[in-house]
Chain A
Amino acid sequence: MILCEGCPDNPGCHNCLDQLGMGGSAQKVIPARTVRVTNLSTAKVCNAQLIAVSRTAIGIISRDKPLHGRLEIELAGDFRIIGNGLHGIEGVPYYVIDIEKVLRRDEVLGRLLLEEFHNWHMSGELDPSALLNDVKKRDGERERLIKQELQKLSILRQIGTIFLYLFDEGKLRPLGTTRAEREIEQEMFRLIQNDVSTGVSIREQLVSEDGRKLYEMYASLLPDQTCGIALIDVTEAITEERRRQRREWEIYRDILGVVTQNKLLLLSDEELFFLLRNGRKSFAMDLRAPEHLADLRRACKRSLEPLGLSDKRILQFMVAVSEAASNTLKHGDGGMITVYTSFEQHMCRVVIHDQGQGILLEELPRATLQQGYSTRESLGAGFSVMLQYCDRVYLGSSFAGTKLILECVSPVEE
């Protein structure tokens, strides 16, 4: 069918405009705009094409439904025209709607302001259905929504590398040009596929195959029932956080060392390992009940005897060992006690390893130096006794538990 002699490509054709009956003041709408038409008598709704406008009437092509009677034409959510529809051109589904009123934002007008109409038309202000039909624009909106979700995660605000993805109809595709490694995308796909049906947000950490990159994945359902995914490279952030923790740990180590005149030293697990390599393991006991404390002391005493220490010195060291061992029972389920002796170095080291929650770094000064800090049925004097009765105390504490090494050195005879 030839509509209006080739409209809109034929500028010489004015059939549609002639039907509006406004002479030269009517104008074509190029390109035509999709509008939603509601028949106010029947409440039936259809989409149609707006192709011509004048101050008092508009021209619409409607192939599916005839537009007769009182109609509401929705150009946008806040731009509607109420009018009466009449058939326009014979043999063509073209209808003329005489404007009764124009509803534009908060205003109600009796006619269409053509200049405002063209401003609206050229501004790209689109109705929601047009937005949903435009994939690129829809992706832009999704990108905005995902970033909006990310704002809820304050920790991620300072992170630069963010990959955005969309999970739609069982497929994962990137929003934008940058994307993560293939293995990470595969892992992400697996996680989303499993969990998206639950309807809850997902937060997971993913590690690259070579273990060098760490990603934080955050997936959230979007209003259009797709799933937006943000993949954040947190490798640098984590590395920086570890550096910060290490610096903080070193400060505590230095302060505790100075305050105790290097009697109490914080050590890393690696340093503790190298420290113990020098000695020979002479005894080990898995301490689980207070009733075993006496056996532990007797066994330790036997290990110490060859070092030639005085009875008083041995008793004092046993008090320190008993304090440390009792702590593992007070704050957890006990621990492993291992005794190392080194006759070459004239020393004995007792390692008390518990797998409790560890001591928080910020609590270390009070836990180790402040008498009476303990809230349990003891004098809270455990650490001060250890510092008093040992030649040196080494401490390594993490979420994996606490390792305490009590060192007793035998005086070397000249």
Chain B
Amino acid sequence: MDYRATETNGQATLFFDGELDMAVGDRVGELLQQYGTRNESVTVDFQGVSFVDSSGIGSLFFTTKELLALGKKVEIVNVREEILDILSVLGFTEALGISVAKAAETGFDAYASDCI
């Protein structure tokens, strides 16, 4: 599981690549927490995500909930159809009521990337 992140004017975008399961679930949540704390808005890009299960997005779910409660904006974009289907079965999108769609193009001021 790899990731990279951009930050500009209080807007962060997290790009995940690979499989989100129990092995990386906590790290995914920590990253969202980290970028969500110092930005007003976070976009999570799922273009490179090829697998998710409940343990992989559990922490992402709870962190998103916390950020929304703090008045932050969170959205998930570029979700593949088959992954969207899994998120739907997991009740992820309905429970959070967030936007899950293709991302608009953004300008990148900062850049970070790592392998989880």
Contact = CB atoms under 8 A, between A and B. Distances in A.
A381 interface: yes
Given A379-B91, A379-B92, A319 B53 contact: yes
Contacts of B19: 294, 297
Contacts of B58: 376-379
Interface stretch (B21-29, B38-46, B100-108): B21-29
Interface size of B as a range: 20 to 34
B36 to A, nearest CB: 17
Contact of A293 (B21, B59, B91): B21
A78 B25 CA distance: 81
B111 interface: no
Nearest to B25: A377
A385 B62 contact: no
B89 A323 contact: no
| Chain A: number of interface residues, binned into ranges | 20 to 34
- The B interface, classified by DSSP as helix, strand, loop or mixed, is helix
B18 to A, nearest CB: 9
B89 A381 contact: yes
B54 interface: yes
B86 interface: yes
B54 A385 contact: yes
A315 interface: yes
A379 B22 contact: no
A87 B34 CA distance: 108
Contacts of B26: 377
A382 interface: yes
Interface string B54-92: 110111011000000000000000000010011001111
B23 A319 contact: no
A315 B83 CA distance: 9
A316 interface: yes
Given A315-B82, A377-B26, A381-B54, A326 B90 contact: no
Contacts of B25: 377-378
Given A378-B58, A385-B90, A388-B89, A291 B23 contact: yes
A368 to B, nearest CB: 14
A326 B91 contact: no
A86 interface: no
A322 B22 CA distance: 9
Contact of B23 (A293, A316, A377): A293
Contact of B90 (A290, A318, A381): A381
A190 interface: no
Interface string A309-327: 0011001101100110010
Contacts of B91: 371-372, 379, 381
A382 B23 contact: no
B51 A315 contact: yes
Contact of A379 (B21, B23, B51, B61): B61
Contacts of A323: 53-55
Contacts of A376: 58
Given A378-B22, A381-B54, 19 more contacts: A290-B23, A311-B82, A315-B51, A315-B82, A318-B51, A319-B51, A319-B52, A319-B53, A319-B86, A323-B53, A323-B55, A326-B22, A326-B54, A377-B25, A377-B26, A379-B54, A379-B92, A380-B54, A384-B89
What are the 5 tightest A-B residue pairs by CB atom distance, in nearest-first order?
A378-B58, A290-B23, A290-B22, A379-B54, A378-B54
15 contacts: A289-B23, A290-B55, A293-B23, A294-B19, A312-B82, A316-B82, A318-B51, A323-B53, A326-B53, A326-B55, A330-B22, A372-B91, A376-B58, A378-B55, A381-B91
